[in-house]
Amino acid sequence: MAQQTPVARVEAPWREWMARWPTPADLAAASPGDVVRAWGRLGYPRRALRLREAAVAMVERHEGEVPRLETDLLALPGVGAYTAAAVAAFAFGDRTVVVDTNVRRVLARAVTGVAQAAPSLTAAESRLAASVVPEDPATSAVWNVAIMELGALVCQARRPRCESCPLADGCAWVEAGRPAYEGAVRRGQGYEGTDRKVRGDILQRLRDAPNSLPRQEFDDIDPAEGRIDRLLHALITEGFVEPLPNNGNRFRLTR
């Protein structure tokens, strides 16, 4: 849930989710529509589908348990390098190299001396991150938590709190006078008028509908000819939506 979504916004939906589906087997038994509804407006709803698929995989391949090995975690749907390392470290205390946006920013500043990390993770960053994780497993687990929290709470993107930072002494960025970022500009995401916005609007209506909706219910979402149908069918292909078996003009979240 926290992939690309602020942790503070995740907490409430996460608690409800865990109360409803405490184990992988519980989640695996839910329908795609149920999990997409419970996901609500957290964003990137395909994460909800993948989380459910991961639960299915855990039941099938890991006796309903969350696997401990990073390689097994990586093989789960929706689990990439960051999440696999994070689960192995935070849940099991193993020595992994956790590199998320917070860790990247802390290392960019404290070690490399620049205001922010590159737009996407580079090989050099991965090497740097690996080189600073302590060898001892127990110590490394604490390290991973600490550097990530430091980035989230102190070494923040918009407002670095260098006054209260334990690394301020010896921070390369502070020593350089906190120079502004001069690198490739992250391309603006943009949202209004994009496919993502329209997809989001379609899904929101389907989440809010207790049962199914006729195709015309989406007409006012976007004026472009054919766009609604194109995106609606993409959502069907991706497993979010299904047409009613006996009426192809009505749609609902997948049951």
Partner DNA sequence: GAGTCGTGGGG
Partner DNA sequence: TCCCCAAGACT
Report, in Å, the least distance between residue 110 CB and DNA. 15
Residue 41 interacting with DNA (CB under 7 A): yes
Q: In what order do the strands lie in the sheet with 213-214?
A: 213-214, 247-253, 241-244
Instruction: Report which of 52, 40, 34 is spatially closest to residue 10, judged by C-alpha positions.
Output: 40
Residue 201 interacting with DNA (CB under 7 A): yes
Q: Which CB sits closer to DNA, 59 or 151?
A: 151
Residues 237, 240, 242: CA angle, nearest 5 degrees: 70
Residue 44 interacting with DNA (CB under 7 A): yes
Burial 53-87 (b: 16+ CB within 10 A, else e): bbbbbbbeebeeebbeebebbeebebbebbbbbbb
Q: Which CB sits closer to DNA, 50 or 95?
A: 50
Residue 228 interacting with DNA (CB under 7 A): no
Report, in Å, the least distance between residue 205 CB and DNA. 10
Residues 108, 154, 199, 254: which binds DNA (CB under 7 A)?
Answer: 199
- The secondary structure of residue 217, as a DSSP letter, is G
Collapsed DSSP state (helix, strand, coil) of residue 214: strand
Cβ-based neighbour number of residue 249 at 10 Å:
11
Residues 131, 139, 156, 249: which binds DNA (CB under 7 A)?
Answer: 156
Cβ-based neighbour number of residue 155 at 10 Å:
26
Q: Are 116 and 108 in contact (CB under 8 A)?
A: yes
Helix 46-61 and helix 32-39, axial crossing angle in degrees, nearest 10: 130
Residues 3, 23, 112, 212: which binds DNA (CB under 7 A)?
Answer: 3
Residues 24, 51, 58, 83: which binds DNA (CB under 7 A)?
Answer: 83
Q: Which CB sits closer to DNA, 23 or 101?
A: 101
Residue 189 interacting with DNA (CB under 7 A): yes
Residue 195 interacting with DNA (CB under 7 A): yes
Q: Which CB sits closer to DNA, 67 or 200?
A: 200
Kindly indicate which of the ranges 26-34, 35-43, 168-176, 246-254 contains the residues binding DNA, using the contact rule CB under 7 A.
Answer: 35-43
Contacts of 67 (CB under 8 A, 6+ apart): 58, 61, 73, 76
Q: Which CB sits closer to DNA, 6 or 226?
A: 6
In the complex, the residues that contact DNA under the rule CB under 7 A are: 2-7, 9, 41-46, 50, 77-84, 86, 100-102, 105, 116, 120, 122, 148-149, 152, 156-159, 186-189, 191, 194-197, 199-201, 203-204
